[in-house]
Amino acid sequence: MIIKLERVKLQTRKSEEAIDITAKVDEIVKKTGVKNGLVNVLTSHTSSGLLVTEGIPCLEEDILTHFSRLFPEDEDYHHRRYLDYDGRLGFNADAHLKSVIGGISCTLPIENGKIVRGSRQTIYFMEYDGPLERTYLVQVLGE
Amino acid sequence: MIDFHTHPVLIREFVDKYPNYERMARRVFDIGNNFQPLETFFLQMDVAGIERAVLLPIDCRRARKDAVSSNEQVAELCRLSKRFIGFASVDPLKKGAPRELESAVKKLGLKGLKLDPALQDFRVNHRKVFPVYEAAAGLGIPLLVHTGMSWAPETPLERGHPLHLEEPIRQFPKLNFVLAHFGWPWVWEATALALKYPNVYLDTSCLYYDSPKEFFQFVFSKQIPTTLIERSLRNKIVFGSNYPRVEIKNMVQALKTLALTEGCLNKILRENAERLLGLGPEK
């Protein structure tokens, strides 16, 4: 049984964006040498997300637009208060809620050394509160 | 646009280079966010539409063991990018502080002075501090001084009362005093000083509860009327975010929600800062 964990840093460049990380995850899986097993990908932040959907710009835009419709920046959030453990105010509740509803991880099978995914399925790192340098985790388990 | 109030306390490249940098951020400046590459600072400016940012150190070594960024670190960042405008900080109770300030301006190329009576543990109206004001006036640089509430732990609230500055403001009419954080919660006192004295300015970096938009809407339309800014203080306010305690974009957006004319916003976001700093538009 092989279990390998890689931490990948990603510099986001906008307040919100969907970044295709499929090729990077494929590359990491290949590097581990695991032939059959699972790959789990997750963001290590609570104001970003990780999701799988069809990899086309119109959908990227729709996801971000409609998450913002669900959780508008100017809504009445309890999070808007001084967070003494952070030394600053929390006013990014909308980003946290988008992360909750969009998810923070995905798990996909590995077969014959390759990730098994539908022809349209693309793995996205979702930035909801950028620009920031972010970290996502790729853990590969198998034989 | 110019951000007159930022602190370079979360620069990833400095964590390995300067042994006390991490302790300073966590224990002295008291901020819990992740360290970020310098590139993030520029990207945060970009998404906010900010072209240049004033970097502020705080020499609180006597009171807190470590400085919140040193003059040398600020100068180092300014050498990396013309988008940064570096200020100096000195301990005003330290012997030789005026000479240290002169050196920071003439040798390191720093463009202003930053003082924080709460973090640096001094009284702004103490006579021992006056030689530093005199030196700053002689050097022709502005002073950005913390006023209002300080989040930093173990700092007395009272030290930030803007009226403590009245005597220095009167004694040094050639020194431009920029009162940070609009003096909140003593907004009227800070406003009165800016109305009365030609050498008093205010920065917008106030945010103590709610969101930037909610806070600005309250302070700049209910606590004081927006018309006071538009009609009487349009030449006396500079935009400051207090990044990284708050993202710059949120503060720019909040300012733009106020019922201010484009001309007034231009003055707050650019022209007043350029005048104070003796800068021309970036080419």
Tokens of B65: 């063991």
pLDDT reported for residue B113: 98
Chain A touched by B36 (CB under 8 Å): yes
Spatial distance between the Cα atoms of A136 and B70, rounded to a whole number of angstroms: 33
CA angle B191, B277, B143 (to 5 degrees): 50
Spatial distance between the Cα atoms of B21 and A38, rounded to a whole number of angstroms: 40
Q: Do B40 and A131 touch (CB under 8 A)?
A: yes
A7-58 pLDDT per residue, tens: 999 999 999 999 999 999 999 999 999 999 999 999 999 999 999 999 999 9
Chain A touched by B100 (CB under 8 Å): no
- Determine the straight-line distance between the first and last CA of chain B, rounded to whole angstroms: 13
Length of chain B: 283
pLDDT reported for residue B155: 83
User: A28 near A104, Cβ under 8 Å?
Assistant: no
**A-B contacts at Cβ under 8 angstroms:** 65
CA angle B25, B178, B174 (to 5 degrees): 130
Residue A106 gets which letter from DSSP? E
Residue in the structure block whose two tokens are 């992360």: A99
Give the Cβ contact number of residue A27 at 10 Å. 12
pLDDT reported for residue B283: 46
For chain B, list residues with pLDDT below 50.
283
Task: Report the residue of B211, B213, B242 to disrupt the A interface, i.e. the one with the largest count of A CBs within 10 Å.
Answer: B211
Mean pLDDT of chain B: 96
**Nearest C-alpha of chain B: how many angstroms from A129?**
10
B19-72 pLDDT per residue, tens: 999 999 998 998 999 999 999 999 999 999 999 999 999 999 999 999 999 999
pLDDT reported for residue B151: 81
Residue B136 gets which letter from DSSP? H
Establish how many alpha carbons lie within 13 A of residue A103's alpha carbon, considering only the half-sphere containing its beta carbon: 14
Nearest residue to B115 via CA among B83, B154, B68: B68
A21-35 pLDDT per residue, tens: 999 999 999 999 999
Chain A touched by B34 (CB under 8 Å): yes
Length of chain A: 143
User: B88 near B48, Cβ under 8 Å?
Assistant: no
DSSP helix/strand/coil, B277:
helix
Spatial distance between the Cα atoms of A73 and B133, rounded to a whole number of angstroms: 43
Residues 72-131 of A with CB under 8 A from B: 74, 80-83, 85-89, 91, 130-131
Give the Cβ contact number of residue A82 at 10 Å. 14
